[in-house]
Amino acid sequence: MAEQKRVKKGKNEEVEPEEAKTVKKTVEQSAKEKERDKALDALVDEIDDVLEENAEEFMKSYVQRGGQ
């Protein structure tokens, strides 16, 4: 009968090798998702800043064209 090795996950938790791989992949994906989210948040903030700066100028030119 084949024996399976167990990998210790925490203090008293044991995880099967396949489960350990899945947990590792999930943790890596989570880290990548957090990095992606930070990058997207920075991009959205930058777009928001540009829109705030240009909104007043845009409205002035729009009102001018509409009033002519």
User: 7-50 pLDDT, tens per residue?
Assistant: 555 555 665 778 878 888 888 888 899 999 999 999 999 988 88
| Domain membership flag for residue 41 | yes
Residue 14 CA to residue 23 CA, distance in Å, equals 12
Number of domains the chain is built from: 1
| Domain membership flag for residue 63 | yes
Instruction: Output the pTM of the full model.
Output: 0.47
| Domain membership flag for residue 26 | yes
Of residues 60 and 67, the one with the higher pLDDT is 60
Backbone angles phi, psi at 36, to 5 degrees: -65, -40
Residues of the domain holding 47? 16-67
Residue 46 CA to residue 33 CA, distance in Å, equals 20
33-47 in b/e burial notation, b at 16+ Cβ within 10 A? eeeeeeeeeeeeeee
| Domain membership flag for residue 1 | no
